[in-house]
Amino acid sequence: MTDRYVDLVNTPLAARLAKALGLPRPSVLRRYTPGEALATKPVLVAGSGAGADALAEVILGWDVEVRRHVLPGEKLSAAVVVLDAADSPADLSAPLLELGQAVKLLVPGGRVVGISRAAEDTSDPARAAARQGIDGALRSVAHELRGGATANGIVLRGQTTTTDPSTIGALRFFLSGKSAYVDGQLIEVQAVPEDSVSDVAAATAAEGEGVPDRPLDGRTAVVTGAARGIGAKIAEILARDGAHVIAVDVPAAGEQLAQVANRVGGTALQLDITAPDAGTRILEHVGQRHGTLDIVVHNAGITRDKLLANMDAARWDSVIAVNISSQLVMNEQLLASPVFSPTGRIISLASTSGIAGNRGQSNYAASKAGVMGMVRAQAAAFHGGARTINAVAPGFIETDMTAKIPPLTRQVARRLSSLQQGGLPVDVAETIAFLASDAAAGVNGQVVRVCGQNLVGA
Amino acid sequence: MADQAHAQTTARSPRTAVVIGGNRIPFARSGGAYAYSSNQDMLIAALDGLVARFGLQGERIGEVAAGAVLKHSRDFNLTREAVLGSALSPETPAYDLQQACATGLETVVGLSNKIKLGQIDSGIAGGVDSASDAPIAVSEGLRRVLLDLSRAKTTQQKIRILGTLRPKDLSPNAPGTGEPRTGLSMGEHQAITTAAWQITREAQDELAYRSHHNLAAAYERGFFTDLMTPYRGLVKDANLRPDTSVEKLATLKPVFGKELETPATMTAGNSTPLTDGAAVVLLGSEEYATAHNLPMLANIVDAEAAAVDFVNGEEGLLMAPVHAMPRLLARNGLTFDDFDFFEIHEAFAGTVLGSLAAWEDEDYCKRVLGLDGALGSIDRSKLNVNGSSLAVGHPFAATGGRIVASLAKTLSEQGGRGLISVCAAGGQGVVAILEARN
Ligand SMILES: NC(=O)c1ccc[n+]([C@@H]2O[C@H](COP(=O)([O-])OP(=O)(O)OC[C@H]3O[C@@H](n4cnc5c(N)ncnc54)[C@H](O)[C@@H]3O)[C@@H](O)[C@H]2O)c1
């Protein structure tokens, strides 16, 4: 299940060989460790205007060296390109060419983050062209980066500023090791009223390394499908961040589920999420033990692959039942219950197969695209309130599920992304923990891909 | 009447002890899924499942009490060792208890009494048994020789001692369920009782069938999802035969009572098989449960142990609960009519049916139990409603924990009062009352 190629190609001899043969040379990604520094080298804040100036001030406050222009030969940890004021495509030239100089100076595991506004929020064609143009440019840069560096974007909705807590929360996520396998993604953020989520400012306007170590302290989180794979890792990361985790999985997986619960200091709840009263039973459990349910991660999922021509009803229906119908029913029960917090978070597992489609996965892709549809509709209903719902779409992640893929296909699938490797469950888990935190209070209705910018589903 | 009785039963205790929940591993047939699991492995698995269910990681529990009937001498501190191997706080004290098949129930009684007295606030009671990993003792002859050898000083002495060893001394003593004082196996003892009470083959097979049927239905309802944690790939009791029928059971050959004058009626179908498994129950004071936001399934009201003289007297080996029952009911001012659920451990179908017959027999109740008349009869629809040992299997010391947790859950769902009866080797037995909380 481990990707031996990444280990191998990072030994000196093999690295030279791979280079000579033109083989992919995936890097060991910079992943988060508690207490990590956001940037050990200076951070470039490119772009002009009030938004860029204000953001540079904020970043300075983090004990990070900030440059407004590239200094020849000086290494950079990250380049933040602030383009919120772009009015026409011509405005992109200077900041992006500056970025072009910066990417050559990025350290391994460096970060490019673009900050722009949503094309949907303007009726001016030139402005919309500029905004949409940034999208294309950033995704291209992501393809060009090497050494485990990534490029992502933050899209400000409405009147959101470059220094709103929501913007800062997303920026810190992208700069950190938590986003190691998130590449070529643009996340929309919305300013949130300060009083709706009391801790947004505390969670994001950090001084130095003062960001709360345990951003989910005191929260209760339900993770379905937590007995193994990505779900087990989500349970672990949410617990690391301070949440009390209720680990849910089918009774048959009870032994592993208990081990996960005991490892993370949570509780095990044996439950088939397709049971009509699954949500109610979760609410009863959480209501009695904790009073409030803050976070729900719909992670349980199955695949029953077959070409549509050979598909039978059992395969089709079970995938739809587990991967999407169960979530719809559970969400209804959650939203009708006083136990589900007024600032509750729902995070649902989609898949890149649901974005691009995948041969042999019409049922699975229907369920996962369905998740995205559900998330967007529910997010619209949450709009203006303090609850959020988002989807995370993993690409190729090294788990038991992908271990079932035939070896050759698996090797190819791994190399298909800009980062030239499969992701790890922890990469998905870190993104989910971010979406569950106060720092993501302004992120709603998004589908965040954790796919290393897989070519599939672009 | 029920209300008055309720007031009586709970008023006497200084504090109330409640069942918070339970956990067991599915029971396996001997030599099956747990063939290579030790008692300690299984007890740890049962404890860890309980810890996970109730979020007790690192908690210091007041006391853990458990035991095993078939126990290796190295396991003198079995329960404490299991605690140390579990996710509980290593500062949790534990003790072992052994009362044959009543071990599990007796641990519940002991810890609930400590809770009632305020000596502890929480406790985990239970038991484990492996018929697969049973201790095998060396013969008495070999044991004497080995002990003498260790005391011998000279080589000459050692040679002389070794010379006394006989070939038969080298074959090990397999553990038996035979009674030391009568040499009869438990099944043969029960066969005598079964015959004495004229329990028919049909009635025994019918009880066995209902046990499987009720257990299968309980699984179907998802009754065990919060009472059980799978272990070693086993997700259900291996002994369960959901598709068995009275007709199929009728085809089995009798295994016990073949030496008696009456026709032999006891088969492998209406007797419990050798089984491996473990079960534990979380107990606490009401204050403990409330402070920890934990459920309270039922109150542990009272219990009574009894023993009978099956060696020189007339009474059957497994009839002790029959004697304990009237004493327990009298002390609590209750009759069978005050109960909604009966859990009578099915060591053999004949044990259950013999007990029921005895309580219904006026002459026996007067003569042997010293009552004014028959103790009463039990409505069969209230008996072992979620299956019992014939279907589940019977890892001796684990059965009490299984019964207490299942009955407590039933009471929390349906209300009422429940009566437990467990027979044990050595002519002993324990009976107990649980009560719903509303
Ligand atoms: N591994 C990948 O590359 C990948 C890619 C895209 C999306 N995903 C999605 O991520 C999620 C987790 O994937 P994984 O790779 O860890 O899978 P996995 O098969 O390793 O684990 C899934 C877990 O869900 C549980 N589950 C299944 N049906 C259930 C039900 N009805 N009720 C309760 N629990 C149930 C399973 O028992 C299992 O423990 C899934 O939704 C999957 O579709 C995974």
Domain boundaries, chain A: 31-206, 220-450
For residues A48 and B324, give the distance between their C-alpha atoms in angstroms, rounded to a whole number: 90
For residues B297 and B21, give the distance between their C-alpha atoms in angstroms, rounded to a whole number: 7
Find the length of chain A.
458
Q: What do you get for the CA distance between the two ends of chain B, in Å?
A: 15
Q: Which residues pair with B173 in a beta bridge?
A: B137
- pLDDT band for B4, please (50, 70, 90 cuts): very low
Task: Flag the least confident range among A208-217, B53-62, B65-74.
Answer: A208-217
For the segment A323-359, what is each residue's pLDDT rounded down to a tens digit? Answer: 999 999 999 999 999 999 999 999 999 999 999 999 9
A273 lines ligand 1 (CB under 6 A): yes
pLDDT reading at B137 higher than 80: no
In the reported structure, the alpha carbon of residue A345 is separated from the centroid of ligand 1 by a whole-number distance in angstroms of 20
> Which chain B residue lies closest to A266 (C-alpha atoms)?
B55
Inter-chain contact B229–A271, Cβ cutoff 8 Å?
Answer: no
| C-alpha to C-alpha distances, A7 to A23, A29, A31, nearest whole angstrom | 14, 11, 15
Locus of tokens 């947790």: B405
SS3 category, B433 = strand
- pLDDT band for B173, please (50, 70, 90 cuts): low
Inter-chain contact A255–B232, Cβ cutoff 8 Å?
Answer: yes
Contact A422, A367 (CB under 8 A): no
pLDDT top residue among B2 and A350 = A350
For the segment B354-406, what is each residue's pLDDT rounded down to a tens digit? Answer: 999 999 999 999 999 999 999 999 999 999 999 999 999 999 999 999 999 99
Contacts of B293 in chain A (CB under 8 A): 288-291
| Helices A425-436 and A165-175, axial angle in degrees (round to 10) | 170
Contacts of A289 in chain B (CB under 8 A): 55, 293-294
Q: How many CB atoms are located within 10 Å of the residue B362 CB?
A: 12
Q: Where are the beta strands (DSSP E) in A313-356?
A: 340-349
**Active-site choice (B101, B189, B323, B365):** B101
pLDDT reading at B3 higher than 70: no
Task: Flag the least confident range among A59-63, A280-284, B237-241.
Answer: A59-63
pLDDT top residue among A181 and B151 = A181
- pLDDT band for A458, please (50, 70, 90 cuts): very low
Calculate ∠ Cα B379-B380-B386, nearest 5°. Answer: 120
Q: How many CB atoms are located within 10 Å of the residue B196 CB?
A: 18
Contact B42, B34 (CB under 8 A): yes
A302 lines ligand 1 (CB under 6 A): yes
Task: Flag the least confident range among A57-66, A145-154, B163-172, B211-220.
Answer: B163-172
For residues B401 and B336, give the distance between their C-alpha atoms in angstroms, rounded to a whole number: 23
In the reported structure, the alpha carbon of residue A225 is separated from the centroid of ligand 1 by a whole-number distance in angstroms of 6
Q: How many CA atoms lie within 13 A of A45 on its CB side?
A: 22
Calculate ∠ Cα A122-A123-A124, nearest 5°. Answer: 90
For residues A446 and A449, give the distance between their C-alpha atoms in angstroms, rounded to a whole number: 9
SS3 category, A85 = coil
pLDDT reading at B136 higher than 90: no
For residue A401, which phi and psi values (nearest 5 degrees)? -65, -45
For the segment A19-57, what is each residue's pLDDT rounded down to a tens digit? Answer: 776 777 788 999 999 888 899 999 999 998 999 999 999
**Active-site choice (A5, A32, A181, A364):** A364
Contact B427, B309 (CB under 8 A): yes
How far apart are the CA of B51 and the nearest CA of chain A, in angstroms?
7
SS3 category, A423 = strand
Average pLDDT over residues A386-405: 92
By the 10 Å C-beta count (0-12 exposed, 13-18 middle, 19+ buried), A335 is classed as middle
Q: Where are the beta strands (DSSP E) in A271-315?
A: 293-298
Domain boundaries, chain B: 140-173, 186-224+241-273+301-433
Query: Catalytic site residue A364?
Result: yes
Of all protein residues, the one whose alpha carbon is nearest to atom 43 of ligand 1 is A301
Contacts of A265 in chain B (CB under 8 A): 55, 57-58
Contact B123, B112 (CB under 8 A): yes
SS3 category, A424 = coil
Chosen for mutation from B53, B220, B228, B282 (greatest number of chain A CBs closer than 10 Å) is: B53
- Give pTM, 2 decimals: 0.91
Mean pLDDT of chain A, nearest integer: 92
Dihedral angle of Cα B319, B320, B322, B323, to the nearest 10 degrees? 140
Query: Quick one: residue A13, left, alpha or beta (phi over 0 = left, psi -120 to 50 = alpha)?
Result: alpha
A226 lines ligand 1 (CB under 6 A): no
Number of A to B CB contacts under 8 A, please give it. 66
Pairing of strands B17-24, B266-267: unpaired
Residue closest to B105 by CA, chosen among B415, B435, B380, B419:
B419
Q: Which atom of ligand 1 is nearest to the CA of A272?
A: 32
A235 lines ligand 1 (CB under 6 A): no
By the 10 Å C-beta count (0-12 exposed, 13-18 middle, 19+ buried), A210 is classed as exposed
SS3 category, A349 = strand
| C-alpha to C-alpha distances, B225 to A46, B48, B152, B228, B403, nearest whole angstrom | 57, 15, 58, 6, 15
Mutation test residue for ligand 1: of A303, A374, A399, A417, the one with most atoms within 8 Å of CB: A399
Identify the CATH number of the domain defined by range A31-206. 3.40.50.720
pLDDT reading at A205 higher than 50: no
How far is C-alpha A428 from the chain's CA centre? 6
In the CATH scheme, what architecture does the domain B186-224+241-273+301-433 have? 3-Layer(aba) Sandwich (3.40)
A402 lines ligand 1 (CB under 6 A): yes
Q: What CATH class has A220-450?
A: alpha beta
ipTM strictly over 0.85? Answer: yes
Give the H/E segment covering residue A77.
strand A76-82
Inter-chain contact A275–B222, Cβ cutoff 8 Å?
Answer: yes
Q: Which of A247, A258, A270 sits opposite B225 (nearest CB)?
A: A270
- pLDDT band for B174, please (50, 70, 90 cuts): low
By the 10 Å C-beta count (0-12 exposed, 13-18 middle, 19+ buried), B335 is classed as middle
